[in-house]
Chain A
Amino acid sequence: DQQVKQNSPSLSVQEGRISILNCDYTNSMFDYFLWYKKYPAEGPTFLISISSIKDKNEDGRFTVFLNKSAKHLSLHIVPSQPGDSAVYFCAATPRDDKIIFGKGTRLHILP
């Protein structure tokens, strides 16, 4: 049973436009949500996070929105840049210090 779902395997966005990556979850006990970015041949790197008690967190071009009633979070990248082309993993942590990742969404930024 997949607790963290990223239903779009890939997404293509024009450079300069907004990229929106979506993530749904099923476990209402998750207390923290995170986004990781992964380039080929490298390990994932932490990008941005949000606590379950908040609904928005912003860091430069990256904003994460959390809608607890819908069990949905999204990552907005504005404006999108060529270096943003990567695989993005949504992740969530229940209260027992585990972490559960989604399957990832491959973002292509088009020139």
Chain B
Amino acid sequence: EAQVTQNPRYLITVTGKKLTVTCSQNMNHEYMSWYRQDPGLGLRQIYYSMNVEVTDKGDVPEGYKVSRKEKRNFPLILESPSPNQTSLYFCASSLGIGQGEVWTEAFFGQGTRLTVV
């Protein structure tokens, strides 16, 4: 079954304690990205990756890091989490063919609800 898997689904942590949210896809997709969803703000792109070892900033990259060492994995790293990073996070992947077209075959994970206290 084609899917994007995020772990953990729920996480409560304390300010400053480094954490990693993992994302894995089994569709051999080239394009992967991370979003956060906040009330009244919709979905905002954090980082994206067009292929292995290629990553770019989205609209809200501050406080986040990513890596793409393998095609299937795209972890989101919060080196020093702060309460304003409390949010619902989604990972997504797509084929990466064309430009706008990449998103017609996009798959999203089920989300990770992160609370930073």
A49 contacts the other chain (CB 8 A): yes
Chain A 1-25: CB-based contact to B (< 8 A → 1; otherwise 0): 0000010000000000000000000
Chain A 79-104: CB-based contact to B (< 8 A → 1; otherwise 0): 00000000001010101011111111
B37 to chain A, nearest CB (A): 9
A31 contacts the other chain (CB 8 A): yes
Chain A 41-54: CB-based contact to B (< 8 A → 1; otherwise 0): 11111100101100
Please measure, in the bound complex, the distance between the C-alpha atom of A51 and the C-alpha atom of B108, giving whole angstroms: 21
A64 contacts the other chain (CB 8 A): no
Give B31's nearest chain A residue, CB to CB.
A97
Please measure, in the bound complex, the distance between the C-alpha atom of A46 and the C-alpha atom of B111, giving whole angstroms: 16
Residues in B neighbouring A77, C-beta threshold 8 A: none
11 sampled A-B residue pairs with Cβ under 8 A = A6-B42, A32-B99, A43-B90, A43-B110, A46-B105, A91-B103, A93-B99, A93-B103, A98-B59, A101-B42, A101-B44
